[in-house]
């Protein structure tokens, strides 16, 4: 069973980000002031209504992503992207830590020309920080497919029971100065 894509409230904007495992990405952005919701899902491929099992084959061309909805009166896309660059390694192609495959690629899926420009400017600024070239794709958003319900709010529901949460996500949050 999949979670329905949330509707945008007045004054809100959405951006879809691929930064490796969507459990990690979701856990980071849920804690950013001004973020209203984060939904784990899939985007960027050709398969209609993909499942997690489909994505894991590497044959769908979809990335694991987080759809971040934020209040534009409380934060900006530029601030969201500042966190994005710090939350993963945008210089590794199709890999984040031990997670490897095209589904783990670094990507920004934009919804407007204004978002595209902000993303490109943000990537140019981030390039000054990293010693290797950034491989993050900046692509028009396609259809967003929400991941299955058990992937939603994953860290909050599993941070004690799942070793991946304790070994990968908690240290990432601490590195970013966010509660684990």
The residues annotated as belonging to the active site are 21
According to DSSP, the residues that pair with 100 across neighbouring strands are: 95
What contacts 84, CB < 8 A, 6 or more positions away? 17, 19, 108, 122
Task: Give the integer Cα–Cα distance in Å for 149 and 57.
Answer: 20
Kindly provide the b/e burial profile for residues 70-94, where b requires at least 16 CB atoms within 10 angstroms of the residue's own CB. beeeebebeebbebbbebbbbebeb
Euclidean distance between the first and the last CA atom of the chain, given in angstroms as a whole number:
28
Task: Give the integer Cα–Cα distance in Å for 55 and 28.
Answer: 22
């Amino acid at each position: 069973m999949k979670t329905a894509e949330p509707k945008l409230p007045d004054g809100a904007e959405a951006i879809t980000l691929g930064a490796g495992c969507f459990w990690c990405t979701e856990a980071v952005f849920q804690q950013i002031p001004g973020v209203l919701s984060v939904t784990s899902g899939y985007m960027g491929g050709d398969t209609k209504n993909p499942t997690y099992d489909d994505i894991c084959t590497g044959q769908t061309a979809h990335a694991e992503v987080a759809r971040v909805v934020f209040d534009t009166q409380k934060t900006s896309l530029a601030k969201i992207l500042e966190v994005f660059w710090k939350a993963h390694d945008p210089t590794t192609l199709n890999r984040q830590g031990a997670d490897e495959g095209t589904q783990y690629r670094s990507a920004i899926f934009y919804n407007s020309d204004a978002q595209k420009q902000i993303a490109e400017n943000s990537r140019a600024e981030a390039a000054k920080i990293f010693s290797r070239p950034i491989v993050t794709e900046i692509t028009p958003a396609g259809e967003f497919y929400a991941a299955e319900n058990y992937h939603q709010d994953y860290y909050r529901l599993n941070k004690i029971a799942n070793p991946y949460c304790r070994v990968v996500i908690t240290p990432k949050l601490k590195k970013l100065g966010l509660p684990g």
